[in-house]
């Protein structure tokens, strides 16, 4: 069997290959759709997407992480979990289809009814794919996952753009999620054809349900923490502000997701092979934090100072009201990037209860910040400011709990991973601020290129003079793979 670190590198490579190809495709598709569709249409679909995301969590009930973590599950047990997921998903899809009218009335958007009814298909296929898709990760088939993802983005994106050009309007935005869920189901079930049975026993699986239960509770709490902004802005501030906010958040999330989703999907399947070796987990955690902080904090500063150029170049002048919100949200990228790996550490340590506690604390603080922005200040920029503060608080709480409860060690080593990236981010902020003062051209593309020429060489200098090149060499050195 290949050693653990070798599998980690292989998994990250193929995941990165697909993700960055997908990033280019996604940027092109989003830029085209943003010029063909209005902000309120994006706002309506954002509301429907949030509802589907919640129901997908209910359909999962923590099964994905459970299948990955518990390698001892045999074919009979997997068939039982698959049958359970089918029952839950069919029920949820039917309820969502029938209640689409109520959802549309609540937001006073009649178009939400047919959109939600169509998206019930996406929910159906996504839900019944939970167990077969988790087996892809448990078996560490990262190359197959990467190729599958790339195929879906290419075909789905092309269909969405064609639909928008042919006047399908808001429906062009829901084609991709429906098509993606269908194709993932077909590919996953063809690879792992689990058997559905009308009656099945889960008695033998009772010992693993405590793990699944707390994972499920964390997923639900994390959902509300991450989506309360969309739900409340859409209801109380309107679809047009929601469209601007959603576009800002999604653009901010693009680099975030295409870095975290290269690494985090690989961490749990690979590290679970080591069991609960806490000393090993601590070493891996410090390397992950160091790497993610190195990328995240400087990237936050670059996005902050390049916000106007990015919004106007990618989406056009009609989206200029999204710039202030994007500028604020970009400052959360570094925090979210480092925080993204924490869940996999809790999962691998088998402590989903502590993961749930972190999620609960995060939900309370995030929702408080969102409520303040929506009801007191009544501005999407205030919501973004609230999230910047609460993400920072959640970051501190999560890693404090991790080191106190799981590692039972001093947090000092963790803090030392952060100081170099933070100092460099401050220096970069001064340089880019000076650029805005003294080198500001009328053409946005020139401004973006000039800022990129400052950012990239400066980042390379940080890697070299900050000693990170030695860490990268050690990471790639096969003699040290298991150290």
- Locate the domains of the chain by residue range: 1-194, 208-477
Name, in order, each residue with C-beta under 8 angstroms of 261's C-beta and a sequence gap of 6 or more.
15, 19
Query: How large is the C-alpha radius of gyration of the chain?
Result: 22
User: Crossing angle of helices 278-305/419-438, nearest 10°?
Assistant: 10
DSSP state of 166: T
pLDDT at 477: 46
Handedness of CA 59, 64, 65, 69 (dihedral sign): positive
Distance CA 180, CA 178 (A): 6
Total residues belonging to the chain: 483
Q: Which two tokens stand for residue 45?
A: 């679909």
pLDDT at 483: 42
Report CA-CA distances (Å) from 337 to 345, 380, 474. 14, 22, 22
Name, in order, each residue with C-beta under 8 angstroms of 288's C-beta and a sequence gap of 6 or more.
263, 267, 341
Distance CA 245, CA 325 (A): 7
pLDDT at 15: 57
422 φ, ψ (degrees, to nearest 5): -70, -40
Contact (Cβ atoms closer than 8 angstroms) between residue 102 and residue 158: no
Q: Which two tokens stand for residue 269?
A: 């399947």
Nearest CA to 474 among 272, 274, 287, 280? 287
Neighbours of 204 (CB within 10 A): 12
Per-residue pLDDT of the chain (483 residues; tens, 9 = 90+): 445 555 555 555 555 555 656 667 777 777 788 887 888 888 888 888 888 888 888 887 777 777 777 777 778 888 888 888 889 899 999 999 999 988 889 888 888 899 999 999 989 998 888 888 888 777 777 677 777 777 877 888 888 888 888 888 888 888 888 888 888 888 888 888 888 877 766 665 565 666 667 767 777 787 778 888 988 998 899 888 998 998 899 888 877 776 766 566 566 666 666 656 788 888 888 888 888 898 899 999 999 999 999 999 888 888 999 999 999 999 999 999 999 888 888 888 878 788 889 888 998 999 999 999 999 999 999 999 999 999 999 999 999 999 999 998 888 889 988 988 899 899 999 999 998 888 777 778 888 889 988 888 887 777 776 666 555 554 444 334 344
Residues 233, 236, 237: CA angle, nearest 5 degrees:
60
pTM over 0.85: no
Q: How far, in whole angstroms, is CA 412 from its chain's centroid?
A: 28
DSSP state of 195: P
Report CA-CA distances (Å) from 136 to 65, 81, 188. 12, 15, 8
pLDDT at 136: 79
Distance CA 318, CA 170 (A): 17
pLDDT at 254: 79
């Amino acid at each position: 069997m290949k050693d653990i670190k070798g599998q980690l590198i292989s998994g990250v490579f193929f995941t990165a290959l697909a993700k960055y190809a997908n990033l280019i495709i996604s940027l092109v598709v989003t830029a085209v759709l943003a010029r063909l569709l209005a902000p309120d249409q994006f706002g309506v679909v954002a509301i429907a997407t949030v509802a589907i995301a919640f129901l997908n969590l209910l359909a999962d009930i923590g099964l994905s992480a459970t299948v990955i973590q518990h390698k001892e599950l045999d074919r009979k047990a997997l068939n039982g979990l698959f049958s359970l997921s089918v029952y839950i998903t069919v029920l949820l899809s039917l309820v969502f289809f029938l209640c689409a009218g109520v959802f549309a009335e609540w937001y006073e958007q009649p178009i939400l009814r047919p959109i939600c009814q169509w998206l019930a298909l996406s929910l159906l296929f996504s839900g019944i794919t939970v167990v077969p898709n988790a087996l892809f990760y448990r078996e560490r088939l990262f190359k197959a996952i990467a190729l599958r993802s790339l195929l879906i983005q290419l075909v789905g994106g092309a269909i969405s753009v064609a639909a928008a050009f042919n006047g399908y309007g808001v429906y062009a935005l829901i084609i991709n999620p429906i098509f993606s869920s269908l194709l993932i189901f077909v590919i996953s079930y063809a690879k792992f054809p689990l058997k559905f049975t009308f009656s099945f026993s889960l008695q033998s699986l009772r010992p693993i349900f405590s793990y699944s239960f707390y994972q499920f509770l964390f997923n639900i709490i994390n959902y509300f923490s991450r989506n309360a902004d969309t739900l409340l802005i859409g209801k109380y501030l309107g679809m047009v502000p929601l469209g601007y906010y959603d576009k800002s958040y999604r653009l901010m999330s693009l680099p975030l997701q295409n870095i975290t989703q290269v690494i985090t999907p690989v961490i749990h399947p690979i590290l679970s092979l080591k069991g609960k070796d806490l000393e090993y987990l601590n070493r891996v955690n410090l390397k992950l934090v160091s790497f993610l902080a190195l990328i995240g904090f400087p990237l936050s500063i670059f996005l902050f100072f390049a916000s106007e150029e990015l919004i106007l170049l990618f989406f056009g002048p009609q989206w200029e009201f999204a710039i202030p919100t994007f500028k604020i949200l970009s400052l959360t990228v570094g925090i979210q990037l480092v925080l993204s790996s924490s869940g996999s550490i809790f999962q691998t340590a088998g402590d989903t209860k502590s993961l749930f506690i972190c999620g609960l604390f995060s939900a309370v603080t995030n929702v408080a910040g969102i409520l303040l922005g929506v009801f007191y200040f009544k501005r999407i920029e205030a919501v973004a400011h609230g999230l910047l503060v609460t993400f920072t608080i959640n970051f501190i709480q999560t890693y404090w709990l991790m080191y106190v409860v799981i590692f039972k060690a001093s947090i000092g080593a963790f803090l030392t991973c952060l100081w170099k990236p933070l100092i460099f981010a401050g220096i970069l902020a001064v340089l880019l601020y000076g650029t805005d003062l003294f080198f500001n051209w009328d053409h946005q593309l020139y401004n973006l290129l000039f800022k990129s020429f400052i950012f990239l060489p400066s980042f390379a200098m940080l890697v070299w003079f900050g000693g990170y090149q030695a860490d990268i060499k050690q990471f790639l050195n096969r003699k040290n793979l298991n150290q």
